[in-house]
Amino acid sequence: MNGLLTQHGVRITSITHTPKEPTPFCKDLGNYQETYQDDDVREKTITDRVALVRLLLAAGANHYAVYPKEQKTPRTDAELAIYQKSLVEFKGLINSPVEHPISGDISGASYIIQKDGARLFFSLNMKQADPKLGETQYTASLWFGPLYDAAGNLTERAQTIYDVLCTQNKVDIPEFGVSKEA
């Protein structure tokens, strides 16, 4: 993937905005032993995300891990140990704990994709990996389009994510391209 991104001049920034440390950095693929009770689809969403974000980081991408300092259900000690190891292993992994909670409609991941001055925004909000949810509880919302509208403003989903992460929680994500003086 590194060659693909650099050869074509693509720059990707990924951001997780979740209620606790991001799952892809709290799971060890080399020693992955969890199972979701015969739910291969749910399990695959986790293993695929673990592989994808690590590939992006290996290719030179930045990843902002945004989650509240105070959590209702904290990670296990084993998960936190893997997360701490990930912070050391991946220089582009930017640990960004925040003061305010991340609500369910904001929880998810977003990607800013840049090439030749163009900026695209992809964001998702999914409940697929929560083993407490039944099959009828799967929900998914996806957004994809330009980061900015024709008037030069952040598009609606991008503005919502920016407001919660950068304005309310003071996370510095320069890839949004918003001036601090604005």
Q: Determine the pLDDT at residue 104.
A: 86
CA 17 – CA 103 distance, rounded (Å): 9
Q: Residue 12 corresponds to which tokens in the numbers above?
A: 């990707």
Q: Determine the pLDDT at residue 139.
A: 74
CA 105 – CA 126 distance, rounded (Å): 9
Q: Is residue 158 within 8 Å of 124, Cβ to Cβ? A: no
List the pLDDT tens digit at each of the 182 positions of the chain: 555 566 678 899 999 999 999 988 988 765 555 555 556 666 666 677 778 888 889 888 999 999 999 987 889 999 999 999 999 999 999 999 999 999 888 999 999 999 998 999 999 997 655 555 555 566 788 999 999 999 999 999 999 999 999 999 999 999 998 755 44
The sign of the torsion formed by the CA atoms of 141, 154, 48, 34 equals: negative
Look at residues 45, 66, 21, 49 and name the one whose alpha carbon lies nearest to residue 128.
45
Q: Residue 136 corresponds to which tokens in the numbers above?
A: 């009828």
For the chain, helix (H) and strand (E) counts, in that order, are 4, 6
pTM here is 0.84
Q: Determine the pLDDT at residue 73.
A: 81
**DSSP helix/strand/coil, 168:** helix
